[in-house]
Amino acid sequence: MPRACGPGVTTRWIWLVALFAQACEANPERLHRRRDPGALVVAQATGAISLEPVRVTDNESIEAGTLLYEGLVHWKPGTTDIEPGLATAWKTSPDGRTWTFTLRDHVVFHDGTACDAAAVVFSFERVIDPKHPQYIAGPIDGTYWRLLFKDVTRIVAIDAATVQIETARPYAPLLGELAMFPIVSPTAVATWGAAYRAHPVGTGPFAFESWVIGEQLVVHRNPTYWGKAPALERIVFRVVVDARQRLIDLESGSVDVATAILPDEQTFVELHPDLRLHHVASNDVSYLAFNTQHPPFDDPLVRRAASHVINKEPIVKLAYQGRATAADGPLPPTQWGYHAPDVKYAYDVALARKLLAQSKTFDPARVYRLYAPTTPRPYLAQPERVARSLAAALEEVGIHIELVLQPYKEHRLAVERGDHDLAVFGWIGDTGDPDNFLYVLFHSDNAVVGEAQNIAFYRDPGVDALLRQAQEVTDQATRSGLYAAVQDRIGLAAPWVPIAHSEVVVAARRSLAGVVLSPLGHPIYALMSRTEGR
C-alpha cells in the first residue's frame, strides 16, 4: 500500500505547491476591475450594420467608417470646413469640371498595401462604374453615393500620386462629398469579396480588430497612421439596447461614452459629478412646411402671417428640453454658408391677424390638414406635441387645423406625394455642404410629386438659378454669397417656418479628455484620451 502512495503523494504535493503559488500570486485588485485601461468603451443603442462603407447610411456604421477610413479631404474637427486628408492638395480646371488631387505620400492601408492613385480610382469606380469587377450593384447599396456622384463622369490616375476627377458640369459640393467618401484597400476588397463588409481595410486612425454583429465592434490604434497617432489604444463599441442600462453602465464606469441619451436622463447626466453631457449643434433642421401648391398657402401673406404666430421659444425649451436652438432659416448656424436672414418673423399675433386679413385667398371657415409624424426623429423628439402646439398657435389666429398624425414611414410617403396643406418635417445634412440643404430642400428639381424632398413644393426660378450657380463655382466665399442670397429669398417667401436645429448629445465620463463632437454627432475618437482606471 505504501508503494502505491509514493508517486501519487509527490504529484499531489507538486499540485498543492502550484496551487499555493497561484494563490499567493493572485492580486486581489485583479478580482475587481477587469477593464482594459487602454480601451475606450462606447455604449450604443444599435450596432453597425455593415463595415462596407459605401453600402450603408445608418449612423453607427458611418461612425465606425469614420474611424476605419479616410476620404481625400477631411473636415476640420467640430466643423464642416474642409482640410487636406489623403490628398494634400487639389485644384480645379478653369472650366470647373476637372479636379486634380495630389495624394499624400507613403500612406498605407491597414493591410500594409499602399494607398495610391490606383486605390483611390478603385474606390470610386466600384461605386460608379457598372462595368467594374467589384461593382456594388443593387437597388439600395451604393445608390446614395451614385446619386451624389451623378455628375462625376470619369476618374483617372494620372500617376501614382495624382488622381483626376472629371464631372459633367462644375460641381462644387464634391469636396464635401469627398470628405465622406471612404478610400478602401483594393487588395482587401478583392480578397474578401462579399465578406469584405466584415473585414474592412482602410487608412484611418483605427484598424479593425473584431466584430460580433449586434454585440460588439472592436477597433485598435493604427500603428502606421500617417497623422497624429490617437491616444486610445482600442475602442470597443458595445451594443446596449436599453437606454437606462447605457446610463447605468456609464455611471458605473464600465463604459466611457454612451450615445442616444434620453432627454429625460440628460438632467441626471448633467448633475452627476462623474459624468458630462457633451452637445453640439446638429447638422439638421426641423420645420413646418406649407404646401405652396395648396391655397391659401400659395399666398406668401398667409405664410408670413402663420410665421408670426409660431412662438419657437417654448417649443425649444419645452419640447426639446432646451437641447435645440430656435431656427431662423434652413441652415444651422454651424454650417458654413449660414446667413442670418434679413426678414425675421417675430412672435406677433396681432401682426399675423392683420396679414391674414389682407389675404384674399385665406378662408377662415376651412380646416387645413397638418401632417406630422408620431415617430420621434433625431431633429424632433416630440413631434406630436410640437404639432399640437403649432396647431394651437395657428388656431389662435383663425387658421383651423386638422392634425394628421401617422408613423414616420406613412408620413414621409404622404408628404412626398404632397397630400398635406402643412407638414412637420426635418432634414439632416450629411455632406457638410450648404448645397446638401438648400438644393435638396428648395430646388424645383426636388419638388417632384411622389418623390419630393422639397415638400413645400417651392418653385422659384431665381432660387433655382442661384443654387445651380453655387454648385458650379468652387470658391467657398462666392458660394457663401450665393447661398446668402438664396436664404434671403427663401426667407422672404416663407415656404417654411423653420423651427429648430437640434443638438446632438453624447454622455461621457467626466474623466474623458478631448471630447469633440463632429457636426454629424460623432465623437472624434482620435482626439480623445482616457485617464480613468490607469
Partner 1 sequence: MTEPVLKVATRTPRPAQPISPELRPRLRTRLVIAMAIAALVPVAIVAVIATRVILSNLEAGLREDADRQLTVGLNLILRSVERVGDEAVQLSEDNDLSIAFETKKADPATMAIENWFAHEAAHVPSSRLQLIAPGGAVIFDRVIGGADQRFLNVGVTRADTETINANPWNRGLALVALDGVVVLRAISPVVDSKLALHGVLVLSVPLDGDFADAIKGALSADVLIGGRTGPLAVTFRSDLGKRAEPLALDPTDRAQALAGTHINKNLDVPSGHYAYALAALHDRADNVLGLVGVAVDREPLAATQRLAVRSLVIGGVGALGFALIVALFWSRRLGRPIAKLHRGAIAVSRGDLDHRIEVSGDDELTDLASAFNQMTGTLKDNQARLAARMREMVALHDAGRAVSSVIDLDSVSRKIVDAVARTFDVQVAALWISEGGATPGLRASAARARRADQASSLAASDSLAPAEALASIADRAASTKQPVRLDAVAELGAVIALPLVRQARVVGVLAVARAASAREFSEADLNLLTTFADQAGAAVENALLYREVRGASEELEKKVRLRTAELTAINTELGRALSDLRETQSQLVLSERMAGLGLLVAGVAHEINSPTAAIRGSIDGLAATLARVAKQAADISARAPNPAIGSAIVDYLAKIAPRLAERPLQTGVTARRAARELTAAIDAACAGIGGSTIVIDTPAIAAELAYLGSTAAEATALFEALGSERHLAAAVVATLVDHVYLHRTASTVGHAVGQIQRIVGALKSYSHLDQQPTRTEADLHEGIDTTLVLLHYALRDIVVERDYGDLPHVPVFVDELNHVWTNLISNAYQALAGKGTIHITTRVEDASHGADAVVRVIDTGPGIDPEVLPRIFEPFYTTKPKGEGTGLGLGICRQIVQKHGGTLACHSEPGRTAFEVRLPISPRGHVS
Burial of 237 (0-12, 13-18, 19+ CB in 10 A): buried
129 binds partner 1 (CB under 8 A): no
The three cell numbers of residue 159 are 500617376
> Which region among 166-174, 207-215, 266-274, 417-425 touches partner 1 (by CB under 8 A)?
266-274
388 binds partner 1 (CB under 8 A): yes
**Dihedral, CA atoms, 289, 293, 295, 299, nearest 10 degrees?**
70
CB-wise, 139 or 252, nearer to partner 1? 252
CB-wise, 26 or 160, nearer to partner 1? 26
CB-wise, 27 or 131, nearer to partner 1? 27
CB-wise, 139 or 273, nearer to partner 1? 273
Other beta carbons less than 10 A from residue 313's beta carbon:
9
Alpha helices by DSSP H, 79-237: 117-128, 143-148, 174-180, 186-192
Instruction: Output the DSSP codes for 9-78.
Output: HHHHHHHHHHHHHHHHH--GGGGT----TTEEEEEESS--S-S-GGG---HHHHHHHHHH---SEEEPTT
Q: Which of 271, 346, 365, 477 binds partner 1 (CB under 8 A)?
A: 271
Site for partner 1 in 209-238 (CB under 8 A): none
Taking each helix axis from N to C terminus, what angle separates 349-358 and 300-309, rounded to the nearest 10 degrees?
160
26-55 mask for partner 1 (x: CB under 8 A)? x-xx-xx-----------------------
Note whether 180 and 430 are within 8 A (CB).
Answer: yes
Least distance from C-beta 392 to partner 1, angstroms? 3
Note whether 500 and 286 are within 8 A (CB).
Answer: yes
CB-wise, 345 or 439, nearer to partner 1? 345
Give me the phi and psi of 185, to 5 degrees please: -80, 115
CB-wise, 11 or 267, nearer to partner 1? 267
Least distance from C-beta 519 to partner 1, angstroms? 23
Least distance from C-beta 250 to partner 1, angstroms? 11
Q: Which of 132, 334, 510, 527 binds partner 1 (CB under 8 A)?
A: 510
Q: Which of 215, 396, 402, 451 binds partner 1 (CB under 8 A)?
A: 396
Q: Which of 270, 342, 451, 475 binds partner 1 (CB under 8 A)?
A: 270
CB-wise, 23 or 477, nearer to partner 1? 23
Least distance from C-beta 459 to partner 1, angstroms? 33
The three cell numbers of residue 471 are 454648385
267 binds partner 1 (CB under 8 A): yes
The three cell numbers of residue 32 are 475587481
Least distance from C-beta 274 to partner 1, angstroms? 7
Residues sharing a CB contact under 8 Å with residue 125, sequence separation 6 or more, in sequence order: 132, 135, 155
Which helix (H) or strand (E) segment holds residue 422: the answer is: strand 422-428
Q: Which of 77, 227, 300, 322 binds partner 1 (CB under 8 A)?
A: 322
Q: Which of 100, 113, 389, 476 binds partner 1 (CB under 8 A)?
A: 389
Site for partner 1 in 5-24 (CB under 8 A): 16, 20, 23-24
504 binds partner 1 (CB under 8 A): no
Q: Which of 252, 450, 461, 477 binds partner 1 (CB under 8 A)?
A: 252
Note whether 164 and 152 are within 8 A (CB).
Answer: no
Q: Which of 8, 137, 140, 313 binds partner 1 (CB under 8 A)?
A: 313
- C-alpha dihedral sign at 174, 180, 186, 190: negative
Other beta carbons less than 10 A from residue 10's beta carbon:
10
The strand pairing partners of 506, in sequence order, are: 259, 278
Q: Are strands 87-92 and 98-103 parallel, antiparallel or unpaired?
A: antiparallel
- Residues forming contacts to partner 1 in the complex (CB under 8 A) are 1-3, 16, 20, 23-24, 26, 28-29, 31-32, 251-252, 264, 267-268, 270-274, 311, 313-315, 317-319, 321-322, 388-389, 392-393, 395-396, 510
